[in-house]
Amino acid sequence: MLSISVQTNVDAVRKNLTDIAKKQLPFAVAKGLTATAKDVQGKLAQALTQHIDRPTPFTLRAFAVTPATKSKPYASVFVRPDQWKYLTYQFDGGDRRPTGRALVLPKSVKLNQFGNMQRRAIKQLLAKKNVFSGVVSGVPGIYLRKRSPAGNGLKLLIGYAQQARYRSRYPFKELAERSVAKAFDRNLQRAIDDALATAR
């Protein structure tokens, strides 16, 4: 999670405001922070396509915003829990371990447009007579029995593993902080102008 609170910027702006503008400032700050958080949300989603191979529409909806209010002058950008379960390894790296018996690693199976196996792929494969699940030469997985004039053989379709190691490849914090630095002053000034235009 990234919490956006830029009091230094606000203090610098306050010095140059009229009394009327200062009264509108808490509302403008909340509005400016929320707008900035939404800018960050968009930039982070856009960056996923640059750092992660073929993210799904579900993955692209990973980021959410908690808006700021007058009484809580900070906004947050965070990753939704369901997406965080797997994106954490792209953000922070580390060893992924199975929640069930093993991790499933596709080797020689057809993948969808996002590079993932179809939902029922394993069940459909194991329904075939020439496919089986087992351990061959110490390598667990799902195998295809191949028959050819040269003799019979086996082809690993899906491997099983007890862990997979990931390296960090999505600089979440750096991207977010860069976006905040670029957007907040502009959003704050726009919010102040809007607040003054509607002040009574």
The model's pLDDT over 9-38, given as tens digits with 9 standing for 90+, comes to 666 666 666 676 777 788 888 999 999 999
pLDDT of 117 above 70 = yes
Closest CA to 191 of 51, 86, 73: 73
DSSP 101: S
pLDDT of 42 above 90 = yes
Query: What span, in angstroms and rounded, lies between the C-alpha atoms of 15 and 95?
Result: 50
The structure tokens listed for 59 are 């993955």
Sign of CA dihedral 164, 167, 172, 173: positive
Q: Which residues contact 16 (CB under 8 A, 6 or more apart)?
A: none
Closest CA to 141 of 164, 165, 161, 125: 161
The structure tokens listed for 14 are 């306050």
Query: What span, in angstroms and rounded, lies between the C-alpha atoms of 87 and 190?
Result: 34
Q: Which residues contact 41 (CB under 8 A, 6 or more apart)?
A: 63, 64, 65, 77
Percent of the chain at pLDDT exceeding 70? 86
